[in-house]
């Protein structure tokens, strides 16, 4: 899929920037498409179109926005196969998971905002004041590759609902789905200028968007280091910045848990999307008394988690998104071995089953200690690290021993597990395998970011609040 134009002001236009970004299929290592490299002229063009469109879109009838969001959801459903195949080709996600999570979740999220608008309270009174919620303005979205469409829709849908206009810069690893989304938004009749797409390099396009004086808000999802750069670039214009960043989330099995069920579930919780998930539960914290039993389950299950062609319906672990990502994950595996952690599954090198592609072996380490790099840093691949504890206090201390605080898990009898979850310094916690909820706020504590996406909290991020005072009679 070769795309040579940017979507600005409701039409496909030639870019001012030069060159192209090639998209590589991480399974076959073949080039499967390309997108243009936008520059500052393209951004200025897109921002001015978004600014012009803001006046009317911000005042648009709520019914129009509901219709767009419902039509978007319907179109995503109709195009599920094309979108899922595209994302599997770009990212390497197993195809079944692509259909369900990469396309299915955005479809449900779009619909959820349409539904939310039906009953949303835009105004309320406090004594002599009328409190009014208004769209914040022109937004910039900078998104990563790992759940590419989901992360885009997590911003685009609430922004449309709020009455904002926007400029999106997708990741360079997986930009093709964003071009398909632009086609969809065009076809369903989103007014020109409400949504604009400028592809390009993060260090250029991302930084220019973040510092742009005519952008009111930047919503960023990606690594903590790039999030810091975005905040710095945005600071001089005092725009609102929301950040969805990295994670190193803990999964704690309490000693009264259904240990077998918890241990089995720990694998999927870590390895979903081949371990390239910001909220993956990558640190497994287990009671010393159950160590042998849990490690036995984990190692035998990980060895059954065979990597392979993501287009094969039975594959559960695809490749890493790029050679760079593959090398990074492999270097963490080497570091775990060098630092003395015990390898209980997987290890260095390519999986035996694969002769090409950016694959790594699904891996698990036990005897991991808090000083080790594999305990502290986000690996972003299928690598589970395990440590033991003696007391519940120690388990909590280990769980909170991270610069991140995005997600978490806890297993135990219900009330005890909920109490434990409340003490975890993290934005969401799954208790006894509790499922992801698209209407619940998603976001991080500590260096996992600020702000929330999804649900009503995700909509509030795109709103300004005005107090209109009336004279007291």
Residues that bind ligand NAD (CB under 6 A): 142-147, 151, 169, 171-172, 202-203, 206-207, 210, 221-223, 226, 229-230, 244-247, 278, 378, 380, 406, 444, 448-449
What is the token pair recorded at 243?
Answer: 């950040």
Nearer to ligand NAD, 10 or 227 (CB): 227
Min dist. Cβ of residue 389 to ligand NAD (A): 25
Nearer to ligand NAD, 206 or 412 (CB): 206
Query: What is the C-alpha separation between 97 and 36, in angstroms, rounded?
Result: 28
Min dist. Cβ of residue 59 to ligand NAD (A): 31
Are the C-beta atoms of residues 17 and 6 closer than 8 Å to each other?
A: no
Q: Is 244 a catalytic residue?
A: yes
Nearer to ligand NAD, 93 or 448 (CB): 448
Q: How many CB atoms lie within 10 A of CB 212?
A: 22
Catalytic, out of 90, 244, 453, 461 = 244
Are the C-beta atoms of residues 90 and 173 closer than 8 Å to each other?
A: yes
Catalytic, out of 139, 164, 270, 278 = 278
C-alpha distances in angstroms, 47 versus 9, 198, 305, 310, 397? 9, 10, 46, 38, 46
Nearer to ligand NAD, 147 or 305 (CB): 147
Q: How many CB atoms lie within 10 A of CB 233?
A: 19
Indicate left, alpha or beta for 351 from its phi (over 0: left) and psi (-120 to 50: alpha).
Answer: beta
3-state secondary structure string, 420-446?
Answer: HHHHCCCCCCEECCCCCCCCCCECCEE
Nearer to ligand NAD, 199 or 388 (CB): 199
- The terminus-to-terminus CA distance of the chain in angstroms comes to 66
Tell me the residue length of the chain: 473
Query: What is the C-alpha separation between 224 and 140, in angstroms, rounded?
Result: 18
Tell me which H or E stretch contains 7: strand 6-8
Min dist. Cβ of residue 277 to ligand NAD (A): 7
Min dist. Cβ of residue 399 to ligand NAD (A): 18
Min dist. Cβ of residue 224 to ligand NAD (A): 6
- Please report where in the chains the tokens 């500052």 appear, as a residue: 40
Catalytic center residues = 244, 278
């Amino acid at each position: 899929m070769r795309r040579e134009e940017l979507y600005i002001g409701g039409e496909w236009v030639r870019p001012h920037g030069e060159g192209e970004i090639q998209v590589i299929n991480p399974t076959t290592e073949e080039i499967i498409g390309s997108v243009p490299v936008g520059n500052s002229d393209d951004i200025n063009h897109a921002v001015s179109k978004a600014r012009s469109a803001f006046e009317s879109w911000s005042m648009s009838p709520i019914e129009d926005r509901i219709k767009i969001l419902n039509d978007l959801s319907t179109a995503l459903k109709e195009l599920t196969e094309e979108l899922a195949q595209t994302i599997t080709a770009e990212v390497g996600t197993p195809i079944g998971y692509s259909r369900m999570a990469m396309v299915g979740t955005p479809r449900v999220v779009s619909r959820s905002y349409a539904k939310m608008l039906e009953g949303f309270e835009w105004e309320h009174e406090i004594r002599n004041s009328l409190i009014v919620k208004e769209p914040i303005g022109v937004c910039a979205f900078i998104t990563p590759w790992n759940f590419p469409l989901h992360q885009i829709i997590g911003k685009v849908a609430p922004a449309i609902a709020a009455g904002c206009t926007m400029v999106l810069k997708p990741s360079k690893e997986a930009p093709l789905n964003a071009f398909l989304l632009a086609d969809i938004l065009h076809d369903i009749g989103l007014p020109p200028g409400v949504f604009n797409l400028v592809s390009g390099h993060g260090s250029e396009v991302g930084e220019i968007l973040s510092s742009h004086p005519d952008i009111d808000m930047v919503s960023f999802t990606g690594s903590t280091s790039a999030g810091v750069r975005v905040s710095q670039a945005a600071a001089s214009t005092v725009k609102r910045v929301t950040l969805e960043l990295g994670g190193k989330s803990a999964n704690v099995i309490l000693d009264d848990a259904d240990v077998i069920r918890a241990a089995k579930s720990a694998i999927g919780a870590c390895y979903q999307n081949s371990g390239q998930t910001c909220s993956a539960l990558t640190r497994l914290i287990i009671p010393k008394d159950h160590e042998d039993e849990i490690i036995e389950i984990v190692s035998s299950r990980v060895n059954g988690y065979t990597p392979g062609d993501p287009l094969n319906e039975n594959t559960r672990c695809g490749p890493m998104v790029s050679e760079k990502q593959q090398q990074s994950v492999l270097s963490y595996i080497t570091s775990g071995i060098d630092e003395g952690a015990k390898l209980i599954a997987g290890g260095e090198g390519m999986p035996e089953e694969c002769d090409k592609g950016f694959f790594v072996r699904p891996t698990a380490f036990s005897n991991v200690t808090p000083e080790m790099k594999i305990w502290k840093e986000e690996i972003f691949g299928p690598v589970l690290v395990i440590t033991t504890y003696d007391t519940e206090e120690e388990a909590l201390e280990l769980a909170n021993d991270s610069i991140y605080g995005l997600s978490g898990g806890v297993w135990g009898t219900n009330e005890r597990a909920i109490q434990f979850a409340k003490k975890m310094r993290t934005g969401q916690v799954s208790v006894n395998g509790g499922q992801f909820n698209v209407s619940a706020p998603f976001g991080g504590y500590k260096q996992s970011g600020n702000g929330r996406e999804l649900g009503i909290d995700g909509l509030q991020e795109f709103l300004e609040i005005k107090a209109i005072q009336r004279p007291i009679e």
